């Protein structure tokens, strides 16, 4: 759940958010005069090859500060005429509050902010007794709304300096891609391994996107959820009831090697999960083998479907 931050906690969490970025880092602040602590954190991120996107208010960055920031190899500097918000985001943690990246603010101002997380955070209290634990992630809607606003700000900014990597990627920032964009990429990856079985992204519910192949086999649709497969049998009610009755005579959730599956009701989808007793770790990073195994699981379900229906 969200955590309130006062000045002391902001001074702890902003550098931590910067240093522990995994891929990219977005900082949106109108005024910048980095303290030793903040610049040290930025250098740590830069040395870890993190892309840093810093958006500041137009005409509010001194030559001295700009030159300091340009010493970072992975810095991207953008300016916006109307920035007044202060936002720090690394893909996992989001801080929204009053504090600028200003040395004076750290030492003298009374500041407030809120820390949100889309991961569990378990922190032991440090010597200053600053921290509480996040027992569970914050609502996805918070991040969807924040990311949409960040995207608009980045789109509305003017680029002053971009890194070589950003140039080559046409300024695609992974951590602010929409769920739809991510699913399009995932769908393209899936289609590389399923030949004529073409999946398309679809919105299952608001801001929830999956990849679906209609008629993967005759009257059988396949959907890639994020952590499972869903198989829809497009039969009429009488046919489904008859098939379900026959299927349950030999049903075993572990009957297909490497998979665990559920069919809880005749009109429900068949849900297929990975059986973690199987050595998925050995193939998960090998894209071709991973999708070959998933395809095998789908076809085992279809094989049983065909044997029971005579199709």
**Are 88 and 18 a contacting pair, CB within 8 Å?**
yes
List, for residues 3-51, the tens digit of each pLDDT value.
999 999 999 999 999 999 999 999 999 999 999 999 999 999 999 999 9
Tokens at 230, concatenated: 């869903």
Backbone region of residue 176 per phi and psi (left: phi > 0; alpha: psi in -120 to 50; beta: other values): alpha
Indicate the SS3 state at residue 99: coil
Q: Flag whether pLDDT at 114 surpasses 60.
A: yes
pLDDT for res 107: 86
CA dihedral (184, 188, 194, 197) in degrees, to 10, reads 50
Q: Which pLDDT score, from 0 to 100, does residue 135 have?
A: 53
Q: Where residue 127 falls among pLDDT bands split at 50, 70, 90?
A: very low
- 196 Cβ partners below 8 Å, 6+ apart? none
pLDDT surpassing 80 at residue 134: no
Above pLDDT 90, what percent of the chain?
78
Task: Please say if the pLDDT value at position 298 is more than 50.
Answer: yes
Confidence (pLDDT) at 121? 54
Mean pLDDT, the chain, whole residue set = 91
Strand bridging mode 200-205 / 158-161: unpaired
Asked if 134 and 122 touch (Cβ cutoff 8 Å), the reply is yes
User: What b/e sequence results for 244-283 when a residue is b if at least 16 CB atoms lie within 10 Å of its CB, and e otherwise?
Assistant: beebeeeeeeeebebbbbebeebeebbbbebbeeeeeeeb
Q: What is 3-176's CATH number, 3.40.47.10, 1.10.3720.10, 3.30.450.20, 3.30.870.10?
A: 3.30.870.10
Per-residue pLDDT at 130: 47
Interacting residues of 43 by C-beta distance below 8 A, sequence separation 6+ = 72
- The confidence score (pLDDT) of residue 140 equals 77
Say whether pLDDT at 136 is over 60: no
Taking 60 as the threshold, does the pLDDT of residue 128 lie above it?
Answer: no
pLDDT digits (tens, 9 = 90+) for 198-251: 999 999 988 789 999 999 999 999 999 988 999 999 999 999 999 999 999 999
Instruction: Tell me the pLDDT tens digit for each residue of 76-97.
Output: 999 999 999 999 999 999 999 9
**Bridging pattern class, strands 270-274 and 32-33:** unpaired
Global confidence as pTM? 0.78
Structure tokens at 242: 């008859």
Domain ranges of the chain: 3-176, 179-309
Sequence-separated (6 or more) residues with CB below 8 Å from residue 262: 253, 270, 271, 273
């Amino acid at each position: 759940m969200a955590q309130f931050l006062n000045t002391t906690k902001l001074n702890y969490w902003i550098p931590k958010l910067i240093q522990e970025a995994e891929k990219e880092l977005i900082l949106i602040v109108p005024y910048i005069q980095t303290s030793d602590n903040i610049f040290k954190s930025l250098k740590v991120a830069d040395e870890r090859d993190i892309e840093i996107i810093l958006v500041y208010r137009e005409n509010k960055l001194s030559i001295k500060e700009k030159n300091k920031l340009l010493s970072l190899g992975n810095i991207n500097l953008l300016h916006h005429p109307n920035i007044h918000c202060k936002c720090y985001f690394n893909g996992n943690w989001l801080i929204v509050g009053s504090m600028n990246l200003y040395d004076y603010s750290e030492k003298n101002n009374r500041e407030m902010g809120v820390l949100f997380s889309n991961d569990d955070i378990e922190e032991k209290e440090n010597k200053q007794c600053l921290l509480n634990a996040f027992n569970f992630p914050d609502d996805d809607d918070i991040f969807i709304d924040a990311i949409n606003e960040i995207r608009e700000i980045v789109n509305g900014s003017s680029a002053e300096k971009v890194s070589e990597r950003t140039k080559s990627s046409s300024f695609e920032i992974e951590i602010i891609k929409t769920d739809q964009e991510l699913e399009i990429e995932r769908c393209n990856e899936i289609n590389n391994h399923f030949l004529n079985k073409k999946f398309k992204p679809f919105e299952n519910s608001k801001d929830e996107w999956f990849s679906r192949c209609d008629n993967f086999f005759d009257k059988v649709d396949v959907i890639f959820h994020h952590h499972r497969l869903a198989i829809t049998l497009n039969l009429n009610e009488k046919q489904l009831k008859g098939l379900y009755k026959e299927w349950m005579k030999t049903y075993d959730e572990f009957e297909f090697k490497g998979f665990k599956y559920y069919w809880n009701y005749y009109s429900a989808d068949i849900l297929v999960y990975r059986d973690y007793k199987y050595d998925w770790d050995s193939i998960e990073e090998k894209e071709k083998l991973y999708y070959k195994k998933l395809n095998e699981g789908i076809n085992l379900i279809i094989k049983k479907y065909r044997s029971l229906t005579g199709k």
